[in-house]
Amino acid sequence: MTSPHGTTRQAVLPTLLGLGPRAERRRRALPPGILRLPTIGIDIGGTKVVAGVVDGEGKVLEKLRADTPDKNKSAKVVEDVIVDLVLRLADRHDVHAVGVGAAGWVDAERSRVLFAPHLNWRNEPLQEALSERLRFPVVVENDANAAAWAEWRFGAGRGEDHMVMLTLGTGIGGAVVRDGYVDRGKYGLAGEFGHMQVVPGGHRCPCGNRGCWEQYSSGNALVRDARELVAEESPVVEPLLALAGGAVEGITGPLVTEAARAGDPVAIELLYEVGTWLGVGIANLAAALDPGRFVIGGGVSEAGDLLLGPAREAFRRTLTGRGFRPEAVVVHAALGNEAGLVGAADLARQVARRFRTIKRHRVERGAEA
Ligand SMILES: [Zn+2]
């Protein structure tokens, strides 16, 4: 399919990079069928790699999963897992591009993973390695950015032209979607809100600093606080400990949520504290970014209003200029744990369109010659 003419390559390059109004117009003028092309999204987490075929409406048609390779394994082993999942899905579906959402720092070109906490990726040229092996257009994106994109396209962020998403899992994932694009910052590293310092000299964070926001508002914070109560042999924590089978290791985020739903006052209070810290941080973000909507996702957000109620209260109490300004709304994410996968697939769909355009032009030019 490669053209023998050097000029063709030059002509398609701006389109490939998505540059210029001509490329934009051409993309909008594409037949709607291409906008609905199924693509593959991949979510690389700390424990598992999930790959799924996603249609143009954001619906997951089929999903496969594999264990995340051990941290000491080489980058190639992780690529092997991804390639295997993609090829198995591509056997059964007519897919056109692959999007990879990875927990880690992805550079502004969405090509290299600069650092990944769960994997042996250090300045890893993942996009190039995968597109060479798969022969599909490949997009690499930070997982929080991918999730935010999915919520903006298909979920709780629809219709909002300035939204911030916060994903509360073991830490806090953050992303900003503005005017229909993910605001990645100059170097691709925007949205690391979890490491803003909120308590000078506070809890130590794996990032090396102390008092980071995610040490107070995350699944890890919830579990740490619950286990501290156990360590202090506080009688108030006995029902929670019983629910965990009497073992402190049995206390997890979902277990605290379950206990809170069942009315356990300690569990409710633990979520209240995490929610309050969430609201304080949201107020800080509103002061800096002034979005219209905060979308809250991740495992801890499954607690619903047990988390978001105190978060909204603290947000209103802390927001600068309160009473004299429009206030952002704080809403629950809609897509659950599929958001990262759906978002990665949809971001890849944008490249798939260009990929198809390029192929079409090459074919047309080939016919002219
Ligand atoms: Zn930190």
pLDDT per residue as tens digits for the range 173-204: 999 999 989 999 999 999 999 999 999 999 99
Highest mean pLDDT pick, 66-70, 328-332, 359-363: 328-332
The candidate with the shortest Cα–Cα distance to 151, out of 348, 312, 347, 285, is 347
Compute the distance from residue 169 Cα to the ligand 1 centre, in Å: 14
Compute the distance from residue 343 Cα to the ligand 1 centre, in Å: 25
> Strand 122-124 relative to strand 113-115: parallel, antiparallel, unpaired?
antiparallel
Alpha-carbon separation of residue 7 from 26, 165, 285 (angstroms): 19, 43, 48
124: three-class secondary structure by DSSP: strand
**Residue 135 confidence (pLDDT):** 85
Query: What is the model's pTM?
Result: 0.86
For the chain, list the domains and their CATH numbers.
6-149+338-368 (3.30.420.40), 158-333 (3.30.420.40)
Alpha-carbon separation of residue 72 from 48, 224, 255, 353 (angstroms): 15, 27, 31, 37
**Residue 362 confidence (pLDDT):** 53
Backbone φ, ψ for residue 145 (5° rounding): -65, -40
Compute the distance from residue 191 Cα to the ligand 1 centre, in Å: 13
**Residue 118 confidence (pLDDT):** 80
Compute the distance from residue 286 Cα to the ligand 1 centre, in Å: 20
| Contact between residue 362 and residue 1 where contact means Cβ atoms under 8 Å apart | yes
What's the CA gap between 312 and 33, in Å, rounded?
Answer: 42
Predicted confidence (pLDDT) at residue 16 exceeds the cutoff of 80: no
Compute the distance from residue 299 Cα to the ligand 1 centre, in Å: 19
Sequential DSSP letters for 249-287? GG--HHHHHHHHHTT-HHHHHHHHHHHHHHHHHHHHHHH
What's the CA gap between 244 and 248, in Å, rounded?
Answer: 7
> pLDDT over 70 for what percent of the chain?
86
| Contact between residue 254 and residue 299 where contact means Cβ atoms under 8 Å apart | yes
Mean pLDDT of the chain: 88
Compute the distance from residue 197 Cα to the ligand 1 centre, in Å: 8
Q: Which of 15-29, 108-122, 238-252, 316-330 has the lowest mean pLDDT?
A: 15-29
Compute the distance from residue 148 Cα to the ligand 1 centre, in Å: 21
Sequential DSSP letters for 136-183? S-EEEEEHHHHHHHHHHHHSTTTT-SEEEEEEESSSEEEEEEETTEE-
Any residues with CB less than 8 A from the CB of 281 and at least 6 apart, and which?
A: 166, 172, 193, 196, 198, 213, 217
Return the amino acid letter for 56: G
Query: Mean pLDDT over residues 141-152, rounded?
Result: 97
| Contact between residue 226 and residue 213 where contact means Cβ atoms under 8 Å apart | no
